[in-house]
Amino acid sequence: VCAISPKAIVSDACASYSTLDDLNRDLRPALHNITQKTDFFAYYRLNLFGKECPFWNDESSMCGNIACAVNTLDNEEDIPEIWRAEELGKLEGPKANHPTRKLQADRPKKPLQGMLGDDVGESCVVEYDDECDDRDYCVPDDEGAGSKGDYVSLVDNPERFTGYVGEGAHHVWNAIYRENCFSKASFPKSASLGKSPFPKKGAAANEFQSVMRDHERQTSNTPPSAGLEEEDECLEKRVFYRVISGMHTSISTHLCAEYLNQTTGKWGPNLQCYKDRLHKFPERVSNLYFNYALVLRAITKLGPYLKGYTFCSGDPAQDAITKASVQALTTKAGGAPPIFDETLMFVNGEGPSLKEDFRNRFRNVSRIMDCVGCDKCRLWGKLQTAGYGAALKVLFEFDNNSEDVPSLSRTELVALFNTLARISSSLESVYDFRTMVESEETEA
């Protein structure tokens, strides 16, 4: 029995790809039931439209998106409207609004939102405003905004190819990876940079170029870990990088696995897309497996506390099923050999002093999601950063032997389980893609 140290390369550690693939196969049915068949986990509350990009001019990002959509999809004018990038990125289905101020004022004093450990007996699909906690790794979605958001069906809006490509998307990824450069200042939280988020001249431009060179070096086709170890990067910084890179891998996997073939109009896997973005980059795939271990460990750690949690959707019969499915998942996961050891982090060297910086940088990543210029991508980007944020909070702000249970809102729980479901489906797709590549090689 051994646990993955956060430093290990998953493919080299005792928990190999195949160990995690097997575990994933075992857990997937319960995870599928939880996220696809229960109202509690299928509706997510977020502020998708009410917040401006806090880092650069929002308009330029939207312009970038529309322009890049026209540039990248050949003869876009000639294809049916529903296939156009702008259309593909839109949300489907009705949205329930956030409760009004009056409703909130009228609500009973009893806590409704189902913080872990509360005895919640009323309908809590409608959640009220969250209070921010110092230990959060994500900004609450109502920060600085007038509107508090909508409920969106995750089942009706699957994460898949949207056509969001080009400069707009690259700006966002670059800003996210910039947060990984711990030695450098965080991305300035100001819109004063004007139309382009990236400085063109002077010291800021030089710094930006150096960030991008670092990132290119880290993501080039080198053996896993090589670049990072040469730099003697500390464990915590390395984990930060792996989390965002693994999230990027998962998004790329989904868009390649559910790709729109514009010739046939059919959705399906695009092997070339996988080869170009992931197969050539084993480190990216390794980071996906790393994230699976990390998020599953957080859910396993929460398992005992979820036994007393009321999953309230307003339908007691469904709530009982939700609870049983969650218990089935956490019990199975808890019975598996340990796959991630979080106790190694923030303990040695400069580790303890990095925790706050780590948390703040991750919060910044969650803010960057408001700069994504495609509704569906922004929905899943926000959900997944909130899910990783909840996982990090459970792992690093919650002492294994303490009575101090972290307060998790319903929104955080929904994000956490759906993020695991995303990674889980990515693992399955990567496995299928690998098999396709192998059979191509055998035939050749």
Q: Which residues of this chain interact with ligand FAD, rule CB under 6 A?
A: 159, 161-162, 164-165, 169-170, 172-173, 216, 219, 245, 248-249, 251-252, 255, 277, 284, 372, 376-377, 380-381
Q: What is the CA radius of gyration of the chain?
A: 21
The Cα 204–Cα 179 span in angstroms is 15
Nearer to ligand FAD, 324 or 437 (CB): 437
Question: Least distance from C-beta 118 to ligand FAD, angstroms?
Answer: 32
If the CB atoms of residues 127 and 159 are measured against ligand FAD, the closer one turns out to be: 159
What minimum distance in Å lies between the beta carbon of 261 and ligand FAD?
14
- Rounded to a whole number of angstroms, the minimum distance from the CB of residue 24 to ligand FAD is 19
Which one from 124, 181, 371, 374 is the annotated catalytic residue?
374
Helix (H, G, I), strand (E, B) or coil at 391: helix
Measured distance CA(428)–CA(287) in Å, rounded: 15
**Could you tell me the smallest distance in angstroms from the CB atom of residue 157 to ligand FAD?**
10
Of these residues, 53, 312, 371, 377, which one is catalytic? 377
Q: How far is the CB of 48 from ligand FAD (least distance, A)?
A: 13
**How far apart (Å, rounded) are the C-alpha atoms in residues 141 and 385?**
11
Within 309-350, residue ranges assigned H as helices are 316-335
* 357 burial via Cβ count (<10 Å: 0-12, 13-18, 19+): middle
Query: Terminus-to-terminus CA distance in the chain, angstroms?
Result: 40
| Pair 132, 366: CB distance under 8 Å | no
Task: Specify the residue, 64 or 140, whose C-beta has the smaller distance to ligand FAD.
Answer: 64
Nearer to ligand FAD, 42 or 165 (CB): 165
In terms of CB distance, is 326 or 371 closer to ligand FAD?
371
Three-state DSSP state, 46:
strand
Give the DSSP H/E element, type plus range, for residue 254.
helix 235-257
Distance of CA 312 to the CA centre of its chain: 24
| Residue 374 known to be catalytic | yes
- Residues labelled catalytic: 374, 377
